[in-house]
Amino acid sequence: MSPSKRHAPTIVSERAARIFREAGGTLRAVAAHRAGIHPRVLHAMVKAGVINRVSRGIYQLADASLLSDPDLVVVAHKAPNAVVCLISALAFHGLTTQIPHGVDIAVAPGARTPKLDHPPVHVFRFGGKSLTEGVEKHMIDGASVRVFSPAKTVADCFKFRNRVGIDVAVEALRNHLRKRGRNVDDLIRFAEVDRVRRIMMPYIEATL
């Protein structure tokens, strides 16, 4: 075998690893293929310990630092149009003592439900401005994660109070006011978007 052929797999693997690094260390199989990494190369890289399979169809460089929030990164790759919401968004913003058991995501009423083997996702249907207003983008481990803003999340918790619990919504409201001071303009704006102003105002007034 000629030296060029003998070293070809190593060269291909190094090029593939460079593509991973340029993407922040994590890639979906589909994105890797578009970037020129053949599925056989992915398989060989996993077997050689160069990359690890984080979830179905998602791979990360083995020598990359551990993902700071792997669940949100996986969801961002698998469901890029979804928005992290409710308990997961509260936890992300430090507004709750609740521990998320999976990832809460908001999707449009007719959108396909994302299929993930891990993490478990809890899908909530948001329509109109309730889905598009108050969306923030955060870069986490090279992935663009869409998360509702703190004030929008508080309003959402009142909207979905029958599912998350009114106590969770009230705790989030109090924590938000404690962190943000007495400025309630954003809270009221998003309460109107979610049509829960009448419900939220007594709790706001009691907290101020």
Give me the pLDDT at residue 153, please: 97
Are β-strands 26-28 and 58-61 bridged in parallel, bridged antiparallel, or unpaired?
Answer: antiparallel
- Tell me the two tokens of residue 148: 């509702």
Give the model's pLDDT for residue 140. 83
Quote the CA–CA distance of 17 and 11 in Å, as a whole number.
10
Q: Helices 185-193 & 166-180, crossing angle to 10 degrees?
A: 150
What is the separation of C-alpha 166 from the centre of its chain, rounded to a whole number of angstroms?
24
| Exposed / middle / buried, residue 159 (Cβ in 10 Å: 0-12, 13-18, 19+) | buried
For residue 151 the two structure tokens come to 């004030």
Per-residue pLDDT of the chain (208 residues; tens, 9 = 90+): 444 444 445 666 788 888 887 777 777 788 888 888 888 888 888 888 888 787 777 787 777 655 567 788 888 888 889 999 999 999 999 999 998 888 999 999 988 888 777 788 999 999 999 999 999 999 887 788 999 999 999 999 999 999 999 999 999 999 999 887 767 999 999 999 999 999 999 999 988 7
Residue 10: per-residue pLDDT = 63
| CB neighbour list of residue 207: distance below 8 Å, 6 or more residues apart | 173, 174, 177
Sequence ranges of the domains in the chain: 3-61, 70-207
93: enclosing H helix or E strand = helix 86-93
Helix (H) or strand (E) holding 125: strand 121-125
